Amino acid sequence: MPNFNRGETGLQGIQGVTGLNGIQGIQGQTGINGLQGETGVDGNTGLQGIQGETGIQGQTGINGLQGETGVQGIQGFQGEIGLQGIQGIQGTQGETGLQGIQGQTGIIGLEGQTGIQGFQGNTGLQGIQGETGINGIQGETGIQGETGLGLQGETGINGIQGVQGNTGIQGIDGLQGDIGLQGLQGNTGLEGIQGITGIQGNTGLQETYTNASPSVITVGGITAGTTFSNKNMTELFDLMLYPELFGILTNPSATFTASISGLKEIGEIIPTISFNSSFNRGSINPQYLSDSPYRSGLPNTFIYSGTGLNNVPTTNLTDSQNISNYEVLTGNQSWTGRVAYDGGVQPKGSKGTNFNTPLAAGQTSIITRTITGVYPFFATTVSINTFTKQLLQTYGSQIITVMVAEDGVNKQTLQLPVAYGNITEIAQLNTLSGLYDVIDINSFSVTTIQKVINSVTVTYNQYTYNGATILNRTLRWRV
C-alpha cells in the first residue's frame, strides 16, 4: 500500500519595518513690528510671510509575497470488504511556515523648539497737537504690505519648530511695519519599507498508485474488477467521483398506417385507400461526444408490397401513397411497409471513449396492414317481412341475431352465405337466467337461394323457422 505525504507549508513573509516619523520643521521667526507712524499717514501693510511647500510623501513599502500552501497528502484507500484491509498511512502534515519578523516601530520625530519671542517695539512719539482752527492735513493711508507667498513645506519629517522671534520695537505711530515672513514647514518623513513575504514552502511529492489485483467492490465510478497502473491521485479521484457516462442506445423504427382496416364487403369499390409511412432514426441519448444524436443514418428507401404500392427511394423521413377505386376481394388482402436506412456513427461516452459499435445499414421490421373481404348475411331483425343486412362477421364465428315477432304469415329467417359454412347449433337466450338454451336445429328448414351482392350472384343457405307463431327472441347460430 503506497504512502501519501503532505507537502510542507510555506514560510510566512517577514513584516516590514515601520517607517520613521519625520522631524517637524523649524518655525520661522516672527518679524519685528514696524515703528508706529505719526498720526495722519497710515503706514504700509507689511508683506505676508511665504507659506512653506508641502513635504513629499514617503513611498509605500512593497507588500511581501504570500507563501504558497503546501499540497495536502493523499488519503489512503479503504481496504477490501470482508477482511478489513490495512488502513493507508496518513500523509505527513507539512511543517508550518515561520512567521515573519515584525518590523520595528519607526522613531517618532523630535518636536521643534519654541522660537524666541520677538522684542516689543518702542511706543512711537505722540504727534504735536496742531493749532486751534486749522485742521492738520490728514496723512495718506499707508501702503498695504504684500501678502507672503508662503510655500507649503513637504509632509513627512516634522521640522523642528522655529525659535520665536523677538517682539519688534514699537514704532512711531504712523507707518506700520512689514509683517515678518512665516517660517517654512518641515519636510514629511519617509514611510518605512514593507517587509519581504516569507518563502513558499515546497509542494509535497505527487505519488502514483499501481495495483494489478482487480478491485472487489464498486466505489463510485470505479467498478469491481478494475486494476490500476501509475494512476496519480487526480486520476483516481476523477475515476471515482466523475466516471465516464454513456448514452442509452435506441434503435431506429418506422410506422406504416392505412386508412381502412377490418372486414369489407366482397366486390365493394373503395374510392381511396391512403397509406402513410414515417421513419425514426433512433437515438444516442445523451449524445455526449458522439458525432450525431441519432443511432442510424438517414433513410434511403421506403419499401412497400401489395396491390397499388411501389418502393420510393428518398432520404425524407415520411412518405405517403394512395390507391384509387380498389375492389375488395374474397378473404385477406394485405399491404406491407418498411424502411431501409444508412449506417450510424460510433457512440462515444462523456470522455470520448467508444462504446458499443456503429449501427450497420439495415431495414426496419415489416409492418402489415390487412382487410378481409366477406359476404354479408341477412335476418328478420327489423321487420318480419324484410331481410335486413347484418354487421359483417368473420367466417366461422358465431352469429347473434335479435329476431322480431312473427305476424302469423311471415316467419323468422336467417340468410347465410354458403361460404360461411353450415349451421350446426342454434340456441335461444333465456331472459331469466341470462344463458343460452340450445333448441332443436330441425325447427328451422334449410333452402338454397341466390342473392346478388355488388353485381355478383352469390349462393346463400336460408334458415326459416317452421314452428308455431313465435314472439321476438335472441338467437345464437354456430357453424
| Selected residue with higher pLDDT from 283 and 198 | 283
pLDDT of residue 221: 80
Q: Give me the domains of the chain, ranges plus CATH numbers.
A: 1-124+140-206 (no CATH), 208-241 (no CATH), 252-374 (2.60.40), 378-478 (no CATH)
Q: Does position 2 have pLDDT exceeding 80, yes or no?
A: no
Task: Give SS3 for 48.
Answer: coil
Q: What was the pLDDT predicted at 438?
A: 98
Q: What is the pLDDT of residue 470?
A: 97
- Is the model's pLDDT at 443 over the cut of 60? yes
Phi, psi angle pair for 324, to nearest 5°: -110, 145
Q: Give the chain's mean pLDDT.
A: 74
C-beta separation of 122 from 32 below 8 A = no
Q: Residue 63: is its pLDDT beyond 60?
A: no
Cα angle 433, 435, 441 (rounded to 5 degrees) comes to: 125
Residue 277 pLDDT > 50: yes
**CA–CA separation, 276 and 476 (whole Å):** 40
Say if residue 105's pLDDT is above 70: no
Please tell me the distance from the alpha carbon of residue 238 to that of residue 255, in angstroms, as a whole number: 44
- Beta partners for 324? 272
Task: Give the other-Cβ count within 10 Å of 43's Cβ.
Answer: 24
Helix (H) or strand (E) holding 234, with range, is helix 233-241
State the pLDDT at residue 245: 95
**pLDDT value, residue 24:** 47
Q: Say what the pLDDT of residue 207 is.
A: 80
Residue 375 scores a pLDDT above 90:
yes
- Hey, is 118 helix, strand or coil? strand
21-25, 90-94, 165-169, 354-358 — most confident range: 354-358
Q: What is the pLDDT of residue 182?
A: 56
Q: Does the pLDDT value for residue 412 go beyond 60? A: yes
Sign, CA dihedral 206-212-218-222, equals positive
Q: Residue 57 — φ and ψ, nearest 5°?
A: -75, 140
The Cα 213–Cα 338 span in angstroms is 51
Say yes or no to pLDDT of 147 above 80.
Answer: no
H or E segment at 367? Answer: strand 367-374
| Residues present in the chain in total | 479
Task: Give the per-residue pLDDT at 202.
Answer: 55
pLDDT-based confidence at 196, cuts 50/70/90? low
Residue 272 burial class via C-beta count within 10 angstroms: exposed 0-12, middle 13-18, buried 19 and up: exposed
Q: Which amino acid is present at 212?
A: A
Which positions ≥6 away from 146 have C-beta within 8 Å? 47, 48
Q: Which residue has the cell 347449433?
A: 425
Strand, coil or helix: 125: coil
Residue 153 predicted with pLDDT over 70 = no
| pLDDT for the residue numbered 28 | 45
Arithmetic mean of pLDDT, 355-378: 98
Amino acid at 467: G
SS3 235: helix
Using the predicted structure, report yes or no on whether residue 431 has a pLDDT greater than 60: yes
pLDDT band at 3 (very low <50, low <70, confident <90, very high): very low
For 259-276, write each residue's pLDDT tens digit.
999 999 999 999 999 999
Angle among Cα 399, 402, 407 to the nearest 5 degrees reads 130
Helix (H) or strand (E) holding 261: none
Range 93-120 average pLDDT: 45
Report which of 438, 433, 461 is spatially closest to residue 377, judged by C-alpha positions.
Answer: 461
CB-CB contact of 6 with 92 (8 Å): yes
pLDDT band at 351 (very low <50, low <70, confident <90, very high): very high
Task: State the Cα–Cα distance between residues 283 and 355, nearest whole angstrom.
Answer: 14
Q: What does the pLDDT read at residue 18?
A: 46
- Give the pairing type, strands 228-232 and 208-211: antiparallel
Question: What pairing do the DSSP bridges indicate for beta strands 367-374 and 262-265?
Answer: parallel
Q: Which residue has the higher pLDDT, 90 or 150?
A: 90
What pLDDT score was predicted for residue 239? 84
pLDDT tens for 208-236 read 999 999 998 999 889 899 999 999 999 88
- Percentage of the chain lying above the pLDDT 70 cut: 57
Question: What distance in Å separates the CA atoms of residue 436 and residue 428, rounded to the nearest whole number?
Answer: 5
